[in-house]
Amino acid sequence: MLKTEIQKLIEAAIAQLEYSYVPYSDFRVGAALLAQNGRVYTGCNIENAAYTPTNCAERTAFFKAVSEGVRDFRAICVVGGPQGRLASYTPPCGVCRQVMMEFCRPEEFEIILAKSKEDYKVCTLKELLPQGFGPENL
């Protein structure tokens, strides 16, 4: 992936921090999901007083894309931190990694973890979920 593509995803993910609904944790997360067709789907985390119905930024982006018929993805950028301050990398939770396994090729799908446009790292889903269970296991 080109550095300019990565930086555009980082910008889109950072912009989503503003929309996070986090009255309980105050931990804002933004995501920008790049589909194979070049379209970017964004998401933010949305908390709920009952906790279980809370939805992560990554799943929000995936569900938006899938609900519009998109099923092929290249990469996702995830940013987050307390009050939206990007002090450290914010990797996807286990549930989000499992959703990624449903729709992505683990060896190819890239996950960009960023603290800024210049401070980021890129890994594959396979690296974050080495023994993932996906559709091919059924």
Q: Which two tokens stand for residue 121?
A: 């790292």
Active site (annotated) includes residue 58: yes
- Cβ burial of 27 (10 Å; 0-12, 13-18, 19+) is middle
Given 18, 58, 107, 108, which residue is catalytic? 58
DSSP 35-100: ETTS-EEEEE-B--TTSTT-B-HHHHHHHHHHHTT---EEEEEEEEEETT---S--PPPHHHHHHH
Identity of the amino acid at 113: L
Q: Point out the residues that are catalytic.
A: 58
